[in-house]
Amino acid sequence: MSIPSLIITQIGQDHNFEEVWELQSHLQHGLIKSKKSGMLDKANHLLICEHPSVYTLGKSGDEANLITSSEELAAQNVTFYKINRGGDITYHGPGQVTVYPIFDLDHFYNDLHRFVRELEQIVINALAHYSIKGDRIKEFTGVWLDADSPNKRKICAIGIHMSKWVSMHGFALNINTDLNFFNNIIPCGINDQDKSVTSISQELGREVDRQEVIGLIIAEFKTMFGFTDLSFG
């Protein structure tokens, strides 16, 4: 079976998190419906977003990891959603790139663990462009820096929801993100003193072109999954 095309859509801060979540669900259900009718050649989708400030809590997460009040969230103009991905709590906002692959894994392989590892590898490869060495920590998903040191720093969080082997949600890579927003949560529910959150700009000591990072991520998706037909929605 040939690899289907990939439709890439960039979504800015003029769309709130709930709108994008609904779009993901619509696209996922569309792919599932197509499969049930015997159509396996429908395009996959890659949504590339910059959300307004929002905290999202995965289905197995602990709301106690949101360590601020609803009044404080309102004062900071930050929203909060309980959603259907895996993982615990994280932050999305300006200066970050949040990437949602709506992929039918029947086109590739039926292996959720491999899918998560390949998303991590896409980010690791993109970071290498900036001479930043991304790593994995066996017990935790996502991409880390200095994973073997007492100063472990998470630069990318990952959370996936899968239905009938069609994915939604994805990963969030901190580029020029205001890391102060992570002070309102226990990121990913990890409350270890030797683990913190970082961004590309924090590591380099300068602002980074977000569109350049997006271009690297798209190129890595093309290589990793073998897409030959890309279009922009």
- Mean pLDDT across 17-39: 92
Residue 117's region, left for phi above 0, alpha for psi from -120 to 50, else beta, is: alpha
Binned at pLDDT 50, 70 and 90, residue 194 comes out as: confident
DSSP class of residue 187?
Answer: G
> Residue 89 has which token pair?
């709590």
* 39 lies in some domain: yes
Q: Looking at the domain assignment, is residue 1 inside a domain? A: no
Q: Tell me the average pLDDT across 55-68.
A: 92
Q: What is the pLDDT of residues 89-108, one digit of tens each?
A: 999 999 999 999 999 999 89
Q: In the predicted model, what is the mean pLDDT of residues 22-46? A: 89
Segment 69-93 shows an average pLDDT of 93
- What are residue 225's phi and psi, to 5 degrees? -105, 0
Residue 206: inside a domain: yes
Residue 218 lies in a domain: yes
Domain that holds residue 75: 6-232
Interval 111-141: pLDDT, tens: 999 999 999 999 999 999 999 999 999 889 9
Answer for the pair 92, 56: CB distance below 8 angstroms, yes or no. yes
Phi/psi for 183 (5° steps) reads -70, -15
The yes-or-no verdict on residue 38 having pLDDT over 90 is no
Mean per-residue pLDDT, 194-213? 96
Q: For residue 49, give the CATH number of its domain.
A: 3.30.930.10
At 1 the pLDDT is 56
Q: How far apart, in Å, do the first and last CA atoms of the chain sit? A: 24
User: At residue 192, does pLDDT exceed 80?
Assistant: no
Query: In whole angstroms, what is the distance from residue 11 CA to residue 183 CA?
Result: 26
pTM: 0.95
| Sequence-separated (6 or more) residues with CB below 8 Å from residue 131 | none
Q: What distance in Å separates the CA atoms of residue 56 and residue 39, rounded to the nearest whole number?
A: 33
pLDDT, residue 35, reads 85
The answer to whether residue 191 is domain-embedded is yes
Bridge partners of 91, per DSSP, are 55
**139, part of any domain:** yes
Quick one: pLDDT at residue 42? Answer: 78
Q: Which residues neighbour 74 within 8 Å (Cβ) at sequence distance 6 or greater?
A: none
The predicted pLDDT at position 195 comes to 84
Residue at 153 is within a domain: yes
Catalytic residue among 54, 188, 200, 214: 188
Number of independent structural domains in the chain: 1
Burial class (CB in 10 A: 0-12, 13-18, 19+), 230: middle
CB 98 within 8 A of CB 171: yes
Identify the bridge partners of residue 167 per DSSP, sorted by sequence position: 162
Read out DSSP for 162-178? EETTEEEEEEEEESS--
Active site includes 188?
yes
* Burial (Cβ within 10 Å: 0-12, 13-18, ≥19) of residue 170: buried
Over residues 129-178, the pLDDT tens digits come to 999 999 999 889 999 999 999 999 999 999 999 999 999 999 999 999 99
Higher pLDDT, 42 or 125: 125
> According to the model, what pLDDT value does residue 45 have?
96
165 vs 107: CA distance, rounded Å = 10
